[in-house]
Every structure is written in C-alpha cells, then in structure tokens.
Amino acid sequence: MAIFGAQAKAQQTVNVFRDLFDGTPWSSSLVDSTKWYIPTWTSPTDGTYLGWTQMRCTQNSSLPSIANSRVSINLDTYNPTGGNSFYGTDLISLRTFAPGNGLIISVRARFQTPIVGGLVGGIFSFDTTTTGLHNEIDYELLSNQLNYVHTNVYENEQLGYGHPDSSWTSTSITSDHLFVIKWYSDKVQWFVDGTLVRTETVIVPTAATHFHLNIWVPGQEWPSAFNPGLFPTDSINNHTYTMLVDSVRVDSIIDALTITPISQAVAEIQFYPNPAHDQIFFNTTEKMEVEVFDMKGSLLLKKEINGRLNVSDLSPGMYSIKYMQGKITKQKKLIIN
C-alpha cells in the first residue's frame, strides 16, 4: 500500500454540475429533466408571477427547447393562460448549491436579436428561507442597457432593491459573454469574460440555493428596466424574445493536499467536496472500504472503492462516513445537499 505525507495545500476544483445543452444522452429537443425543472403553479403568491410577467408552469408548458447546443429562455408578448401579462420562463436547477470552500458558477449567454427594450434576463442563485426572507446572487441583463451588466446580492433579506451595481461592457449583451460568479463563505466575486467587475465582502449568502435562468418584463417600479411602450398582445400579434444560454457549469473549490510518497509515515486520508451532491473523492486511489451511516447509526451503504464514491442515492442531510485503508480508520461527518 502506498503511504503519502502532506507537503502543502493547493487549490483545485471538482466539477459538480454541467450542462452543454446538446441533447445528450437522451437526444432530446428539450432540456434535461434530470437537471432542470420549471415551477408548478400553486397560488398567486408562489413566485410564478414576476413584474408584469406570468412564468410558464408545469400545468401549461413543457421544459424549454434546445437547438444548436443552446437553450432558449423565451418570453412571449401573448400569454395563452389568460390575463393582461407577458409569458416568461424560469428554468431552475433540480439540485441546490452551497459555497463550501468555494463555488464557481460559469454561464455563457446573450440576448438574441432582434430585441426590444424592457426585458430582463436573469442568471442567478435564489432561495427563500423558512422565515420568508431570501438569499440571492445574480447577473441581470437589461435590454434597455445593452452595454451594461447588472449585479445584485441579498443575504436573508426581503425581496426588493437589494444591493445592486452595474458594469460597462465594450460589446453588447446581444453577443456571447462568459458570466462567472465565484462564491466563497466570506465574499462573492463577479467576472465578465475573465475580468473582475465586482467584489462583495459584507453581504455574502451562505445558505444553499437553486440556480435559475429566466426572462421577464418588469413594471414601472424598476424605472431603468421598464419600457412604457412595451405591452402584452393578442395571439395574432405575439412576439417571442429570447435569452440564449450556451452552457452552465458549477465547480467546487477544494483545498487538496499536494502529496509525495514517504516511508513509515501515516497520512490523513481526506475526501472532498463536503457538502457533496453526486460524488465524493479521496486523496488516494488505493482500495479502501467505506461505510455510510445515518445520524441514528444505521448502516446505509458499504462499498469497496478506488478513490471515489457515488452518493447520488443519499437524500439531502447529514451522515457519518467511515473509511478504512489497511490499519488506518477515519470517521467524519458528511453533508449531502
């Protein structure tokens, strides 16, 4: 058995979510239902109505379509469900994401032309708390300001103004841009095409949130985004406006050990990421036996592995993980989100 000793720590990443919107492995024309969903309408206050826009719901719409390795996040000026409103889209990740040691969210997107003023394209993390407050980190693309990128952040706050900022871009948001959020426990950073445009160290969410892609029309309560000349239409005069998204990727930052072989020493076997979702990885590829218990001590999983363990069948919550390699035995907490 190879024995390793820690020499130094190096920041690395492991991919925890990825969608290229290419239709594989299902060869479908719709987004992957194992990764995304649209909301289900339950009441007038359930969040499916935003600004002057009714979002598509499972009761009356399918998932968004993909073509040419892009997903179309659409808004129609005609709402087939009735009412004097626009008909938007809110695409939501099935899983949630928490910062842990750090999270990198990367999205390539743009508005499709022709475009009209008065639209908002959202690229953001969001979830409400049990007390009715919410956490959010976002990019907002305003078709009123095609050479600006808007950002905002909330930490356990009411919906509303938040803590907005904006940054000028040399090319219009009708061209592809790479929008990156680096989310740590003590700060949030926003990058556009590799350039840092904002750092926030005071208002920093730490709770797990879902990831959203949406498009909608605000009312006049948001003057810089509002277009007084844009109105809902009937079906004959419907126009469809689109935010095209090329890819979404989420990577978890880990403090991995830089290790070299040494004799007669016992290194601490570690795993990452924690919190986890689909898989965890160990800093050794040697065979080991792993057991996972619930917090009542019941054995849920027992397996021999080579450096990686699939935990996708475990429900979100806290567990105890025990791993054994030769005479080395460790037992630690494992969080699944």
pLDDT mean values, one per 10 residues, the chain (337 residues): 44 88 74 93 88 96 94 98 94 92 96 98 94 94 98 95 96 98 96 97 95 97 96 97 97 64 46 80 80 87 87 87 78 83
Q: What is the C-alpha to C-alpha distance for residues 280 and 274, in angstroms, rounded to an integer? A: 8
Helix (H, G, I), strand (E, B) or coil at 2: coil
Sheet with 279-282, edge to edge strand ranges = 271-272, 279-282, 308-310
What is the reported pLDDT for 80? 95
What is the reported pLDDT for 272? 77
The segment(s) of the chain belonging to CATH 2.60.120.200 are: 11-252
Any bridge partners for residue 256, and if so which?
Answer: 10
Architecture of the CATH domain 268-336:
Sandwich (2.60)
Q: Which residues of 46-67 are buried (b: 16+ CB within 10 A; e: fewer)?
A: eebbbbbbbbbbeeeeebbebe
Do 9 and 258 form a contact (C-beta atoms < 8 A)? yes
Q: What is the C-alpha to C-alpha distance for residues 56 and 90, in angstroms, rounded to an integer? A: 7
Distance of CA 117 to the CA centre of its chain: 27
Domain 11-252 bears CATH identifier 2.60.120.200:
yes
Nearest to 268 by CA among 335, 336, 325, 310: 325
What is the reported pLDDT for 183? 97
What is the reported pLDDT for 25? 57
What is the reported pLDDT for 262? 32
The segment(s) of the chain belonging to CATH 2.60.40.3080 are: 268-336
Q: What is the C-alpha to C-alpha distance for residues 259 and 5, in angstroms, rounded to an integer? A: 6
Half-sphere exposure of 240 (CA within 13 A, CB side): 9
What is the reported pLDDT for 261? 40
Do 246 and 112 form a contact (C-beta atoms < 8 A)? no
What is the reported pLDDT for 164? 97
Q: What is the C-alpha to C-alpha distance for residues 92 and 126, in angstroms, rounded to an integer? A: 9
pTM for this predicted structure: 0.78
Is the dihedral angle over the CA atoms 216, 221, 225, 229 positive or is it negative? positive
Residue 300, number of CB atoms within 10 A of its CB: 14
What is the reported pLDDT for 65? 95
CB-count burial class (<10 Å; 0-12, 13-18, 19+) for 120: buried
Sequence letter at residue 267: A
- Report the C-alpha dihedral over residues 254, 258, 261, 267, rounded to 10 degrees: -50
Q: What is the C-alpha to C-alpha distance for residues 134 and 243, in angstroms, rounded to an integer? A: 25
Any bridge partners for residue 183, and if so which?
Answer: 103, 188
Q: What is the C-alpha to C-alpha distance for residues 290 and 269, in angstroms, rounded to an integer? A: 12
What is the reported pLDDT for 265? 31
